[in-house]
């Protein structure tokens, strides 16, 4: 059973990212295996010929090198050709996509909803990227339209990021049977066609999708260079968040010790359709088995496309998610 979270909608940025946590995040950096392939841990610079004003070293000329970067003074002294090498900062993009569909409003009674948990994760990841001068963009999907915050860089944009996450997401939005809202597939198609360069892509959702997740993730994989050999190259992290009562209805159904056992009226958070059902322990057992299969199927689908999958309950402490789960999965260092 999905239980509505009763917490008030956040209106201030510090409700998403407290100053104490912000200070701890300053010590973190987002990590891209694709960007740093072949480099030592901690490197974010590479030697490129003639792309920067910061000189680094020489190497001997090889036929085909650009002769503009030959150091003729060295040639005059050694009678050998050498190319100047320069240091250039590797430019990383960070894109976070947040599901704001009606089902994301679920959560434990009095606790954070899946939506608020997703907002906090997105704010933290975006802050880390901005603090490290990475390019940061955010997409919000699941509402009446796909909303996008274009790429930005630097700490001066932290407030802009926070206001976007607070003002763009409307938890009062409800899908009706006649609504023609963009689907998850539509959103991932849009994301995949706008990403350029290299970096990190994070999608935060419950993945309780009427149309399924396969086509959307297929678009994402192809557009980010996973399946089609495209020039883009992103490390993709699929963060699935569920409410405690969705993971185990018996323990946290919001209905007392028995959880959701008994005669109930269940309402679909996405469509508003209701059904009268009798929930038994055997039915809950089958539900948990089906959920385990569903989550396992999503994880396997992601792994087959070199995407990293993580499941988090929305009542997980935000610092545990960041310093524990995200570090464990290689997203942060």
Query: Does residue 156 sit within a domain?
Result: yes
Query: Does residue 333 sit within a domain?
Result: no
Show the domain range for 200: 13-35+91-328
Q: How confident is the model at residue 39 (pLDDT cuts 50, 70, 90)?
A: very low
Tens of pLDDT, residues 41-67: 344 544 444 444 556 677 787 776 678
Percent of the chain with pLDDT over 70: 80
- pLDDT score of 329 more than 80: yes
* Across 13-27, 84-98, 259-273, least confident range: 84-98
- pLDDT score of 311 more than 70: yes
- Mark whether 79 and 212 lie in a shared domain: no
- Mark whether 197 and 131 lie in a shared domain: yes
Distance CA 148, CA 161 (A): 11
- The per-residue pLDDT for 331 is 95
Tens of pLDDT, residues 154-211: 999 999 999 999 999 876 666 554 556 899 999 999 998 877 678 999 999 999 998 8
Query: Does residue 5 sit within a domain?
Result: no
- Mark whether 263 and 316 lie in a shared domain: yes
Distance CA 114, CA 269 (A): 13
- pLDDT score of 239 more than 60: yes
Residue from 67, 47, 65, 43 nearest 56 by CA: 47
Residue-averaged pLDDT of the chain: 84
- Mark whether 65 and 153 lie in a shared domain: no
**What is the total count of domains within the chain?**
2
- The per-residue pLDDT for 83 is 81
Q: Rounded to 10 degrees, what is the CA torsion of 208, 214, 219, 222?
A: 130
- The per-residue pLDDT for 267 is 82
Q: Say how many C-beta atoms besides its own lie within 10 A of residue 82's C-beta.
A: 19
- Mark whether 22 and 58 lie in a shared domain: no
- The per-residue pLDDT for 2 is 52
Q: Say how many C-beta atoms besides its own lie within 10 A of residue 16's C-beta.
A: 22
* Torsion over CA: 192, 193, 199, 202 (sign): negative
- Mark whether 68 and 217 lie in a shared domain: no
Distance CA 94, CA 31 (A): 10
- Mark whether 148 and 290 lie in a shared domain: yes
Q: Which residue has the higher pLDDT, 122 or 250?
A: 122
Query: Does residue 1 sit within a domain?
Result: no
- Mark whether 229 and 154 lie in a shared domain: yes
- Mark whether 58 and 161 lie in a shared domain: no
- The residue out of 89, 124, 156 marking a domain boundary is 89
- The per-residue pLDDT for 226 is 46
Q: Which segment, 40-44, 60-64, 108-112, 231-235, is predicted with the most confidence on average? A: 108-112
Query: Does residue 23 sit within a domain?
Result: yes
- The per-residue pLDDT for 174 is 60
- The per-residue pLDDT for 86 is 61
- The residue out of 27, 54, 89 marking a domain boundary is 89
- 308's CB contacts (< 8 A; 6+ apart) are 235, 236, 237, 238, 302, 329, 330, 331
Tokens of 10: 């956040």
Left if phi > 0, otherwise alpha if psi is -120 to 50, otherwise beta: which for 225?
Answer: left
Distance CA 116, CA 122 (A): 10
Tens of pLDDT, residues 266-309: 888 777 788 998 989 999 999 999 999 999 999 999 999 999 99
Query: Does residue 7 sit within a domain?
Result: no
Q: The domain that contains 314 carries what CATH number? A: 3.40.50.410
């Amino acid at each position: 059973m999905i239980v509505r979270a009763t917490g008030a909608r956040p209106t201030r940025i510090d409700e998403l990212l407290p100053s104490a946590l912000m200070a701890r995040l300053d010590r973190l950096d987002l990590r891209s295996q694709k960007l740093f392939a072949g480099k030592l841990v901690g490197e974010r610079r590479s030697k490129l010929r003639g792309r920067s004003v910061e000189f680094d070293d020489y190497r001997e000329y090889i036929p085909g090198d650009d002769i503009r970067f030959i150091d003729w003074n060295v040639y005059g002294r050694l009678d050998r050709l050498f190319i100047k090498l320069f240091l250039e900062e590797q430019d990383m993009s960070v894109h976070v996509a947040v599901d704001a569909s009606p089902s994301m409003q679920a959560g434990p009674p009095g606790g954070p909803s899946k939506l608020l948990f997703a907002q906090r994760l997105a704010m933290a990841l975006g802050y880390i990227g901005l603090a490290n001068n990475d390019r940061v963009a955010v997409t919000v999907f699941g509402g009446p339209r796909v909303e996008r915050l274009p790429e930005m860089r630097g700490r001066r944009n932290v407030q802009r990021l926070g206001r976007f996450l607070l003002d763009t997401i409307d938890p009062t939005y409800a899908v009706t049977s006649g609504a023609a809202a963009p689907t998850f597939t539509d959103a991932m198609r849009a994301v995949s066609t706008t990403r350029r360069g290299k970096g990190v892509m994070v999608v935060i959702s419950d993945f309780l999708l009427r149309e399924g997740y396969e086509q959307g993730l297929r678009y994402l994989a192809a557009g980010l260079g996973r399946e089609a050999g495209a020039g883009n190259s992103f490390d993709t992290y699929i963060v699935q968040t569920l409410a405690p009562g969705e993971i185990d209805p018996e323990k946290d159904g919001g209905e007392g010790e028995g959880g959701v056992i008994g005669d109930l009226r269940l309402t679909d958070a996405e469509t508003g359709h209701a059904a009268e059902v009798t929930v038994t322990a055997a039915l809950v057992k089958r539900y948990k088995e089906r959920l385990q299969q569903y989550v396992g199927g999503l994880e396997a689908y992601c792994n087959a496309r070199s995407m990293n999958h993580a499941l988090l309950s929305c009542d997980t402490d935000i610092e545990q998610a960041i310093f524990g789960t995200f570090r464990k999965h290689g997203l942060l260092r």
